[in-house]
């Protein structure tokens, strides 16, 4: 699958989670990203506190199945 857009995926360090989620969803829509790839794509450009949170969240493995974007983003 090749990217159709030339839009860079938004980097996230832990501030303004709602703004980051909005940008992610815009990117997913423009690039027609499959649901099964959204969490993996989003995790690639996490930095600092956001990356630490992500690693801890994934290690807990609380879901027991492939995590959906809706589950990952939670109430936001």
Domain boundaries, position 43: 34-76
If 0-12 CB within 10 Å is exposed, 13-18 middle and 19+ buried, where does residue 24 land?
buried
The whole-model pTM stands at 0.77
Give the pLDDT confidence of 30-71 residue by residue, as tens digits.
888 999 999 999 998 899 999 998 888 888 765 567 888 998
Give the pLDDT confidence of 13-30 residue by residue, as tens digits.
888 999 999 999 998 998
Whether residue 45 is contained in a domain is answered as yes
User: CA 50 to CA 29: how far, in whole Å?
Assistant: 23
Whether residue 9 is contained in a domain is answered as no
Tell me how many domains the chain contains.
1
């Amino acid at each position: 699958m090749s990217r159709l857009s030339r839009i860079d995926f938004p980097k996230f360090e832990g501030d303004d989670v709602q703004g980051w989620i909005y940008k992610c969803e815009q990117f997913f829509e423009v690039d027609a990203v499959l649901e099964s790839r959204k969490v993996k794509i989003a995790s690639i450009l996490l930095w600092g506190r956001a990356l630490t949170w992500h690693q801890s969240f994934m290690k807990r493995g609380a879901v027991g199945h492939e995590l959906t974007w809706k589950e990952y983003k939670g109430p936001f």
